[in-house]
């Protein structure tokens, strides 16, 4: 199951999230990362080999986009881990790549989000390749052998297997540190080459996540903090 994220747009809403977590976790540790505005992807490996790629779809069943994904050069076709593995990431088109594409394109692409969604969902893999998307990974959704104790461990494992992970993950001891990390993202996102629309706050501990569980739609241990849209992005 691939859940979507519950969203907050004010610190009051974020404080309610913190209050819910502290009912279960004593002195919870959080992580904060960028929320990229692209297309959620799920890649499956078996025996160390890439098997298929799908979109998130409705969270239970997604569109098979394996042929399109095979044109993307930024993810490994073979990995060291030999069990069944499902990893989650965000397909994006860098802003500089989109700008270059539009210089010669017959039909201009208005923004990076629509550009990457169209590239991945397009039935012609040649169009996918022309738009040069990449995937930034952030989650291990399933592994048949072993377990990862934290969000930090997720990032470390993904890197160890050759998946591209964006180099920003803040580990925060309390709410003030979380808010400082969100403010850091809000400033720095204007200077990076990927379209972003917020920050993602997660409970770091996997055991504490398991206690909280999920609703029908959202994990109770994660929250997206959304920023106002900017035309320049």
Instruction: Please say if 132 is a catalytic residue.
Output: no
Options 35, 132, 179, 202, the catalytic residue:
35
Q: Is 32 exposed, middle or buried (0-12, 13-18, 19+ CB in 10 A)?
A: buried
The catalytic site residues sit at: 35
């Amino acid at each position: 199951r691939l859940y979507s994220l519950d969203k907050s747009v004010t610190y009051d809403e974020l404080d309610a999230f913190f209050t819910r977590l502290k009912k279960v976790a004593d002195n919870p540790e959080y992580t904060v990362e960028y929320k990229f505005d692209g297309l959620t992807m799920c890649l499956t490996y078996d025996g160390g080999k890439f098997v298929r790629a799908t979109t998130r779809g409705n969270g239970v069943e997604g569109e098979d986009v394996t042929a399109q994904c095979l044109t993307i050069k930024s993810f490994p076709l073979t990995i060291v881990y030999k069990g069944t593995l499902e990893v989650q990431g965000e397909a994006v088109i860098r802003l500089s790549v989109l700008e270059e594409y539009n210089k010669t394109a017959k039909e201009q692409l208005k923004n990076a989000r629509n550009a990457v969604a169209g590239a991945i969902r397009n039935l012609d893999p040649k169009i996918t390749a022309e738009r040069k998307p990449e995937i930034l990974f952030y989650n291990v959704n399933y592994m048949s052998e072993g377990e990862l104790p934290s969000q930090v461990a997720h990032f470390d494992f993904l890197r160890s297997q050759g998946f591209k992970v964006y180099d920003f993950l803040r580990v925060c001891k309390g709410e003030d540190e979380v808010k400082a990390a969100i403010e850091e993202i809000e400033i720095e996102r204007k200077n990076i080459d990927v379209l972003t629309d917020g920050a993602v706050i997660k409970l770091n501990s996997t055991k504490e996540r398991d206690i909280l569980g999920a609703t029908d739609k959202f994990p109770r241990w994660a929250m997206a903090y959304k920023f106002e849209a900017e035309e320049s992005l």
